[in-house]
Amino acid sequence: MFGKLDEETKKRLPPGQHLTDRFPVLHYGPVPRMNLETWMFRVWGEVEKPLALTWQEFSALPRTRLRMDIHCVTTWSKLDTVWEGVSLKTLLDSGLIVPTSSARFVIQHAEYGYTTNLPLEVMLAQNFLLATHYEGQPLTPEHGAPLRGVCGAIPGRDDLKDVYFWKGAKWLRGLEFLGTDVPGFWERAGYHNEADIWLEERRADD
């Protein structure tokens, strides 16, 4: 489908990955139905005060737009995807979320009990977003509407940690801050806890 890759593109493609210009849909289980009237976004655990926001309140938060390359562990990669939403760092900087001094990890909790875990530090970086929009449009149901975690790679930002796309939960409903790490859904199923795309941390024994 893609012919010879130029040098610039090659550098952006992690080992073992190939490019697609489609946007595959990948998840375990059915697509949940959403009801924005009853939808709540919650933050709990190692935070000074638990938080609960309605969809209207979440939609009023300061927003960020981000261009990233995304890399699925099943080996497809998609370059230059554009996302819009709220960065976790903004929520901490504004004081809306205040982690306790022992907070080190965050679990994303999604509909139907899907979870995925990341170090707090990774989720506070520029390449992680709580996204409501993809390519200027609200997320479609199959891609995680109304809210999903998104993690990708920003070309040229070698200082950031880049993880596989499963580390962003579609149909995100809450964040649990923790002092110690707890593996999420795919992590318990044998996928690598760290999931670094450049080190090919796919399965736990990779």
Identify which of residues 85 and 144 has a Cβ nearer to ligand MTE in the complex: 144
Question: Quick check: 192 and 132 in contact, CB under 8 A?
Answer: no
2 binds ligand MTE (CB under 6 A): no
Angle at 107 between CA 23 and CA 38, to 5 degrees: 75
Which amino acid is residue 3, in one-letter code?
A: G
Q: How far apart are CA 120 and CA 106, in angstroms?
A: 6
User: Which is nearer to ligand MTE, 41 or 171 (by Cβ)?
Assistant: 171
By CB under 5 A, name the one of 53, 72, 98, 178 that touches Mo ion: 72
- Between the CA of residue 156 and those of 3, 43, 54, 125, 202, what are the distances in Å? 23, 32, 36, 14, 23
Using rule CB under 6 A, residue 109 touches ligand MTE: no
Please pick, from the candidates 41, 58, 166, 177, the single residue that binds ligand MTE as defined by CB under 6 A: 166
Regarding 202 and contact with ligand MTE (CB under 6 A), the answer is no
Residue from 55, 114, 128, 166 in contact with Mo ion (CB under 5 A): 166
Nearer Cβ to ligand MTE, position 93 or 135? Answer: 135
Q: Applying CB under 6 A, which of residues 41, 55, 105, 165 lies at the interface with ligand MTE?
A: 165
Residue with tokens 């450049």: 198
The helix (H) or strand (E) run that includes residue 188 is helix 185-188
